[in-house]
Chains A and B, each alone.
Chain A
């Protein structure tokens, strides 16, 4: 699962009457250019053959009425990455893109990147060690090794300290249609009680097999 970091960009210009833009430094136009500039970070500057990455601007805020060019525009967004080096590079790319595009029109941009969750990454050795236990418990045919997803999890902090294994356990009533059920974080989300027994078994067998060395 991806690392999630949020960013905040404050573009500062010079306020003026909307009829006289030449007396302003327009932060709205600069912000628009910055948003478009950010699009080229993932599409043109990130090595996507390594891993996927996402930059999304989720909110933009500036101005009060039609005929005032405001002093300031702020925008916030999220960055999703699956690789620590790519993450560090994207942080730098955002800073460089925003500040230089702002500077082009005489505005300034201040970029703040907030610490989020690191990449959730299953340790290969622990995964190899425990997969036979997981398969024996859940049934070989019920195991899906999934591709990376851009959601995030704070389990990643534990997995930075010790080798970690993170498992998704299916919990949908098999009689339901996956296309119609409520997703995570929605008011109609539900989990079938019958799915929990397997979770109890997985926790238990993983603990016992790991400690006894039978998983090895």
Chain B
């Protein structure tokens, strides 16, 4: 019983610390929500195809820079990597969002619906965020803002990876996560924390 009690106290302390941390997050998320929605509408209205996310990349980079974090641009063509070093030492975790849109003509009636047209494989096409990547970008931009405000609480480093071309690079081009790994993970992130999970590359196959 003597041994168990401190353990229980410790456990309840850990749990309440987590509750407190989550409550802080919830409050910060409410605060940032209007911005997240505005960013989402902007990105939705201005969609760009795989490996052509030039303006989307600039938009994301401008936000991350405004938060004061280290930013790498034009990673794997149009990708953006933000590195947020926390107030305490520790491991590394990467959060990823894909940023590209699709050659689809939007038919949803919204004030911020996409009217963008472009040429794809020689055909005139619409461009639309028809796979939700606009929301992925906005949510990760929101998390970047919340985590920056809580920088002192972070025990280690958070890497924000905004990845282009998830839907597949155009014929004859490289792109997507595979290129992002070569351009961002191997040169920068892998060496950041030798003891963290992110720096222990390993292959596994699903059973």
Chain A interface residues toward B at CB < 8 A:
50-51, 82-85, 119, 121, 123, 126, 133, 136-137, 153-158, 160-163, 171, 182, 184-191, 193, 195-201, 203-214
Contacts and interface: CB of A to CB of B under 8 A. Distances in A.
A200 to B, nearest CB: 4
Contacts of A182: 108
Interface of B: 14, 17-19, 21-22, 25-26, 28-30, 32-33, 36-37, 40, 86, 90-91, 93-96, 98, 102, 104-108, 110, 126, 128, 130-132, 134-136, 138-140, 142-143, 146-147, 150, 153-156, 158, 161, 163, 166, 176-178, 180-181, 185, 190, 197-207
Contacts of B150: 204, 208
Contacts of A133: 18
Given A123-B204, A161-B201, A162-B200, A187 B105 contact: yes
A122 to B, nearest CB: 10
Nearest to B179: A157
B36 A197 contact: yes
* Residue of B19, B25, B104, B202 ringed by the most chain A CB atoms within 10 A: B25
Contacts of B19: 136
7 contacts: A83-B206, A158-B180, A189-B130, A200-B143, A204-B146, A210-B91, A211-B90
Given A136-B22, A161-B181, A211 B156 contact: yes
A157 B96 CA distance: 12
Given A171-B135, A206-B95, A212-B155, A83 B147 contact: no
A83 B206 CA distance: 5
Nearest to A87: B205
Nearest to A190: B108
B29 A201 contact: yes
A116 B203 CA distance: 17
Contacts of A213: 155
Contacts of A119: 205-206
A195 B132 CA distance: 11
Question: By DSSP majority rule, is chain A's interface helix, strand, loop, or mixed?
Answer: helix
A201 B96 CA distance: 14
Contacts of A195: 135
Contact of B135 (A123, A188, A196): A196
Contact of B40 (A82, A136, A193, A198): A193
Contacts of B110: 190
A158 B19 CA distance: 30
Nearest to B136: A199
* Residue of B17, B140, B153, B155 ringed by the most chain A CB atoms within 10 A: B155
A203 B197 contact: no
A187 B108 contact: yes
Contacts of A203: 95, 139-140, 142-143
Q: Which 9 pairs, one residue from A and one from B, show the smallest C-beta to C-beta distance?
A: A84-B205, A203-B143, A199-B139, A187-B107, A157-B177, A200-B142, A154-B177, A211-B156, A121-B206
Given A185-B130, A210-B93, A204 B185 contact: no
A118 B146 CA distance: 32
B95 A83 contact: no
B146 A206 contact: no
B197 A154 contact: no
A112 to B, nearest CB: 15
Given A200-B29, A207-B143, A189 B131 contact: yes
A114 B177 CA distance: 17
Given A153-B166, A185-B104, A200 B32 contact: yes
Contacts of A84: 205-206
Contacts of B28: 204
